[in-house]
């Protein structure tokens, strides 16, 4: 009986917990849970931490992979207002997967370090 109560408690705890950064090293299956969340984004090549709020989520799934695009507000990198953060999952080349933003015409690899 104690095992069943523990299992029920564990399931309820997992369902009620918030999204954490380690959950979106890759985008979660249900990307809509990111709506309204405040993200902390770090540039992986240059030092810099940026904050933005997710205002929209879109997802494109095809045989070649999956792309998740987050519409964001308040993300300003190097003086340029950025409106989207995207993640492409290539069905064949998983090592190339990473979050990125397009700033000043070039792709910039970023890491989401926290979600609130």
Query: pLDDT tens for residues 62-110?
Result: 777 778 888 999 998 878 888 998 887 766 665 566 788 888 778 888 8
- Select from 30, 31, 28, 53 the least CA-distant residue to 40: 53
Q: Which pLDDT belongs to residue 52?
A: 92
Alpha helices, DSSP H, located in 17-103: none
Residue 18 has pLDDT above 50, yes or no: no
Tokens of 103: 């700033």
Tens of pLDDT along 25-71?
456 666 788 889 998 888 877 778 899 999 998 888 777 777 888 89
Q: Which pLDDT belongs to residue 94?
A: 58
Residue 49 CA to residue 113 CA, distance in Å, equals 9
Tokens of 22: 């380690």
Helix (H) or strand (E) holding 61: strand 49-62
Instruction: Provide the whole-model pTM.
Output: 0.66
Collect all residues with Cβ–Cβ distance below 8 Å to 56 and sequence separation of at least 6: 35, 70, 71
Residue 24 has pLDDT above 70, yes or no: no
End-to-end CA distance of the chain: 36
């Amino acid at each position: 009986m104690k095992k069943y109560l523990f299992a029920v408690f564990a399931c309820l705890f997992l369902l009620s917990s918030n999204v954490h950064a380690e959950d979106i090293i890759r985008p979660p299956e249900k990307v809509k849970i990111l709506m309204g969340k405040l993200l902390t984004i770090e540039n992986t090549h240059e030092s810099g931490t940026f904050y933005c709020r997710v205002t929209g989520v879109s997802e494109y799934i095809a045989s070649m992979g999956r792309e998740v695009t987050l519409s964001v507000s308040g993300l300003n990198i190097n003086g340029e207002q950025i409106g989207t953060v995207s993640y492409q999952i290539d069905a064949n080349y998983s090592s190339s997967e990473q979050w990125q933003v397009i700033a000043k015409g070039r792709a910039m690899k970023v890491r989401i370090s926290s979600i609130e």
